[in-house]
Amino acid sequence: MPVSSDVMVETITVSHARRIALAAQGFGKPPDAAVGARQLNLAIDRLGLLQIDSVNVFERSHYLPLFARLGVYDRATLDRLTFARKGRYLEYWAHEAAIIPVESWPLFRWRMENFRRRDAHDDSWASVHAGILDWLRAELAAKGPLAASAVEHDANKRTGPWWGWSDVKSGLEVLFRWGEVVSAGRSRFERVYGLAEHILPAEVVARDVAASDAHKQLVEHAARAHGIATTSDITDYFRLKKVPVTTILRELADEGAVREVTVPGWRQPAWIHRDARSPRRIDAAAILSPFDPVVWHRDRAERLFDFHYRIEIYTPAHKRVFGYYSLPILLDEAIVGRIDLKNDRQAGVLRVQSAWHEPHADPAAVAERLAPVLHRTLEWQGLDAIAFKDRGTLARALATELGVKL
């Protein structure tokens, strides 16, 4: 139902919106003296998911949002929490591939059913290879959780020129999308698969959430995690569909969970969650993953921070502008630059391939604030030194601040 014309809609400045959004994402809080499982769990529950990506030139993406918000923590602790065979978290297609709380898994049954319907036609891979799917179900029932590489079968051979996924891997992924199979941890970052009834608590497997109820819970969580957001932002968080999201936001507004506001320069109305904080300032200094919720929806990053961002890992080297895997630099409520990092684990060196500041940012001031972040990065990664390439508008100022020769 549209808002009545006689209802005054509050206007929020872009600067205020940035502070609300960053506070909702867990930035601006004083760091804890030590970060353990409790802090990690609270941060993941706030976000609702950690996006997974295989690129490991610096560090895998799901580790970075927690480092940005909490500082130095033991990655092995996060591995125990997220990759345990029967733990608090598992993986599913929640945004892209992502780690989510086990309790959230039933909220995606509608997506599992959509995948199953999509695969129902006669010439789909699943229909053509129905025998392999039956065989995989039987293998997992008999042997328990297995990685694709551990499944012995004639079909388990490399066939693709890029990933080389075998029919076994493809079959496991089909069953994973359908929800028959779930993640049962990872080994050397390879996903382990198990039957849902073997891995998940019985009450989670049995929980049947209507698609409308699931969407409402996901929309409410996305609105809370964003703090302030457009309908498109909220839709993107869990990759929903815009039409039901618009309807649900009106329902949530009627219930008092969100309220509609306007932000100058935003083409769409915005929504503030009732739990959103409105701090007067944000004190933050962090490097962000390309798949951090603060920047993963590139249109939102441009609206909030006036920051045009694209990762260039798929761009030919001679066409790259900022670097292979440049990470946004967040200082307080502004994104002030980007830095392309490479973790040379064998040499124990953090290599700064390039560093750039935004036109509005002072390079010396950025370097002064960023240097301690890089020192914490060395500690977190167990590295000994930093090395620079003389590339980018921030490189020299940052190297000087760190006392490193170019």
pLDDT at position 5 over 80 = no
Q: Structure tokens of 270?
A: 């915005």
pLDDT at position 160 over 90 = no
Q: How far is it, in rounded angstroms, from Cα 99 to Cα 219?
A: 18
Q: What is the pLDDT of residue 151?
A: 79
Q: What is the pLDDT of residue 1?
A: 43
Q: What is the pLDDT of residue 121?
A: 87
Q: What is the pLDDT of residue 163?
A: 34
State the distance between the two ends of the chain, measured CA to CA, in whole angstroms.
61
Positive or negative, the CA dihedral 177, 60, 324, 288 is positive
pLDDT at position 161 over 60 = no
What's this model's pTM, rounded to 2 decimal places?
0.93
Q: What is the pLDDT of residue 48?
A: 98
What's the mean per-residue pLDDT of the chain? 93
Q: What is the pLDDT of residue 219?
A: 98
Q: What is the pLDDT of residue 149?
A: 84
Q: What is the pLDDT of residue 167?
A: 86
231-267 residue pLDDT tens: 999 999 999 998 999 999 999 999 999 999 999 999 9
pLDDT at position 344 over 90 = yes
The answer to whether the CB of 199 falls within 8 A of the CB of 85 is yes
- Considering the chain, what percentage of its residues have pLDDT values greater than 90? 85
pLDDT at position 150 over 70 = yes
Burial of 308 from C-beta contacts in 10 A (0-12 / 13-18 / 19+): exposed
Residues whose CB falls within 8 Å of the CB of residue 204, separated by 6 or more in sequence, listed in order: 102, 103, 105, 106
Q: What is the pLDDT of residue 153?
A: 56
How many CB atoms sit inside 10 A of residue 173's CB?
16
Q: What is the pLDDT of residue 157?
A: 54
pLDDT at position 293 over 90 = yes
- For the ranges 163-167, 344-348, 374-378, which has the lowest average pLDDT? 163-167
Q: What is the mean pLDDT of residues 275-286?
A: 97
**Under DSSP, is residue 246 helix (H, G, I), strand (E, B) or coil?**
helix
Q: What is the pLDDT of residue 70?
A: 97
58-110 residue pLDDT tens: 999 999 999 999 999 999 999 999 998 888 999 999 999 999 999 999 999 99
DSSP secondary structure, 117-174, as one string: HHT-STTSHHHHTHHHHHHHHHHHHHH-SEEGGG---TT-S---SSS---HHHHHHHH
pLDDT at position 3 over 70 = no
Q: Give the pLDDT band (50/70/90) at residue 159.
A: very low
Q: Measure the CA dihedral 293/296/302/306, to 10°.
A: 60
Give, as one character, the DSSP assignment of residue 373.
Answer: H
